[in-house]
Amino acid sequence: MKSFFSALLQSRAGLFGFVLVTVFVLAAILAPFLGLPSPTRSDLLARMAPPTWTGLFSPGAHPLGTDELGRDILSRIVYGSRVTLIVACSAVVLGGVVGVLLGIIAGYYRGIVDRVLMRIVDIQLALPLMLLALLVVAALGPSTRNLIIVLALTSWLRYARIIRGQVLALREREFILSAHAIGAGTWRIMLRHLLPNVLTPALVIATLELARIIIMDAALSFLGLGIQPPNPSWGRMLSDGRVYISTAWWIVTFPGIAILLTVLSVNLLGDWLRDYFDPKLRTSR
């Protein structure tokens, strides 16, 4: 753990990403304790109020302005981060569990099992993932649960393909052959010997997938198929404020910046994790 943080401190990009991700996560967790107004409370007398940089801690202050219904932009961004991170992390975990399990099965059994699973991956990758997500959400109906399922459905493919390649290399290693020799069962080999050795690449994939899923979540919410009102979401804020962009630029600018910084920080952290866990990349830099 000490060497991990020492290496992180030596990487400006990785440290920047780690700090930003930590800030967003802490803001999402501590949102009820930050003294922010309710993200759903309307105040038509203060509708489309511009950002106020003075009196930030005074009652009724709106540091990032208000939207077309007088709702506080800062509060909606902070509470929207809770919804976004819950949906994105749930989809990453669900897609990761399914993808890692299928990748291990495909790489270990090979043969017909491998061919069938990889053809399913190829077919799904041939479809535009956003179009697939739109069709599934439209069929199931927009809800948080359905959104998580749809995003996980577009996420498991990368896990399965990469983990399969890792398992194909690992299954011929001496410790796997030794486990076979002492009579270890198939599932014991996969769960006790193969799974721990593919968790590191799975973690890197999960970090990079998190950024992609945040963008897809925002896109679906922008189209009205993601998180439904009155729950705040960054994509919905962009959709609601796009008609006021010429008169109230802050309604779409600050949620857009939140999406930009979140995706950037997750990508920077994911790139650093990939370099840290891959000795070849570490020594080449």
pLDDT value of position 20? 92
Domain ranges of the chain: 10-27+49-282
Residue 107, pLDDT > 50, answer: yes
* pLDDT digit string, tens, across residues 3-12: 777 888 888 8
Q: What is the pLDDT of residues 119-135, one digit of tens each?
A: 998 888 888 878 888 88
In the chain, the N- to C-terminal Cα span, in Å, equals: 22
Q: Token pair of 45, please?
A: 């007398």
Mean pLDDT over residues 168-181, rounded? 82
Reference 85, options 159, 15, 22, 156; nearest CA is 22
pTM of the entire predicted model: 0.85
Question: The tokens of 41 are what?
Answer: 């409370």
Provide the percentage of residues in the chain whose pLDDT is more than 90.
Answer: 23
Determine contact, residues 253/74, Cβ cutoff 8 Å. no
Give domain 10-27+49-282's CATH superfamily: MetI-like (1.10.3720.10)
Arithmetic mean of pLDDT over the chain: 85
Whether pLDDT at 63 is above 60: yes
Q: Is the pLDDT of residue 281 over 50?
A: no
> Residue 179: its pLDDT value, please?
80
- Spatial contact of 103 and 161, defined as CB atoms under 8 Å apart: yes
For the residues 94-103, what does the mean pLDDT come to?
93
218-242 mean pLDDT: 86
Region 83-94: what's the mean pLDDT?
Answer: 91
Q: pLDDT for 136-150, tens place per residue?
A: 877 887 788 888 888
pLDDT, tens digit, for every residue of 249-269?
Answer: 999 999 999 999 999 999 998
Q: Are 13 and 271 in contact (CB under 8 A)?
A: yes
Q: What span, in angstroms and rounded, lies between the C-alpha atoms of 159 and 107? A: 12
pLDDT the model gives residue 283: 43
Output DSSP code: residue 68: T
User: Over pLDDT 70: what percentage of the chain?
Assistant: 94
Please report, as a single letter, which amino acid is at residue 272.
W
Q: Which band of pLDDT confidence, cut at 50, 70 and 90, is reported for residue 226? A: confident
Q: Would you state the structure tokens that stand for residue 147, as one six-digit string?
A: 């959104």
Q: What is the length of the chain?
A: 285
